[in-house]
Amino acid sequence: MSKFCTSCGKPLNEGSKFCTECGTEEKTEVTTYTNKIFSNAAPAYKEVGELTLPLELAPGMGDLVDVKLFSVLKSGFGELISGFKITLANKRLLVLVAVLTFVWLLVNLLAALGVFPLPVRLLSWLTAARGSLIGGSIGKGLVAALMAQIITDKQMFKGVKGGMSQLLALLKRGSKAYSPLLMGAGASLIACNMMLASNLQNTMVCLAGFALSAKALTRNGFLRGFISSLLPNTSQTGICSVMGGWTVGFALFILVSLIPGRYNGYIVGATLLIAGIVLMILNNKKKEAAL
């Protein structure tokens, strides 16, 4: 079972007593942290981010070895329903949902009337008020999940920091991590462009997706289970690299949005995806030649 530093989130070697990155002693803390995050217990919705579309925030889905796609989707759907039930029982979450719903309706009404000054545009950006029926709903879900996490989870920013530290550690692994990172980033860019037009107005969704995905890097949740089910023969290190690429993809889409055009995410994403696949083939050929 992988271990991560409780301070910076860097992966630790088996039996490590301290983190080589930040020096934090991990002899007792890592075991507690690992058992908490990667437990074999049934998933429980204690974090509001788990109630919306980014189900990768679900803390713990047990052992991910030979996990089946249908089982992951079934579990994720069940967790989503449980999350909605908890939302209805939480006054702070209900207030958040009510406020966001009001803002979304107000911004879209003003835009339809041709009233869209800078303050309304900023409010629209902050809450992801605009967008298509499907893509816009997913974007709103990501932003709402981020806001809910900030309100209810005191460890939210620490979790994001830990995920970013782990992402940096993945980037330092060298060429071994580049192939899954490129494929993850390419898939993320394509997914972003499917739900968002490539423009700056939608970049808040990308920020929310980046933060939530970064936190998910240190968790055994829906995203890890989903990728593991799609890539059953991939090592957990490879799965982490794909997840890291997925996280980076949200940030890259912000840069892509600076380029004129609405379909740049598809173009850049497909390019990175193909590059990752080609690099993977070349790496496999090198391994075969070495044998």
> What percent of the chain has pLDDT above 90?
20
User: What domain range includes position 240?
Assistant: 38-290
> Looking at per-residue confidence, does 217 or 73 come out higher?
217
For residues 198-210, average pLDDT: 84
**Contact between 258 and 200 (Cβ < 8 Å):** yes
- Identify the three-state secondary structure at position 41: coil
Asked if 5 and 42 sit in the same domain, the reply is no
Q: Are residues 242 and 280 in the same domain?
A: yes
Res 257: pLDDT: 85
pLDDT attached to residue 6: 52
Is residue 130 located within the same domain as residue 114? yes
pLDDT per residue as tens digits for the range 59-115 = 333 344 445 666 666 665 566 666 666 666 678 888 888 899 999 999 999 988 988
3-state secondary structure of 198: coil
User: What confidence category does residue 19 fall into, taking pLDDT thresholds of 50, 70 and 90?
Assistant: low
54 and 16 in a common domain: no
Within this chain, do residues 4 and 85 fall inside the same structural domain, yes or no?
A: no
Of 212, 239, 209, nearest to 224 by C-alpha is 239
- pLDDT > 70: what percent of the chain? 68
**pTM greater than the 0.85 cutoff:** no
Question: Minimum mean pLDDT among 30-44, 57-71, 145-159, 209-223: which range?
Answer: 30-44
Q: Are residues 19 and 48 in the same domain?
A: no
- Answer whether residue 182 shows pLDDT above 80: yes
Contact 187, 269 (CB under 8 A): yes
Q: Is the same domain home to 118 and 6? A: no
On the question of pLDDT at 199 being above 50, the answer is yes
State the alpha helices, DSSP H only, in 89-132: 91-112, 118-127
Confirm if 19 and 27 have CB atoms less than 8 A apart.
no
The total domain count for the chain is 2
- Same domain (yes/no): 17, 130: no
Three-state SS at 4 = strand
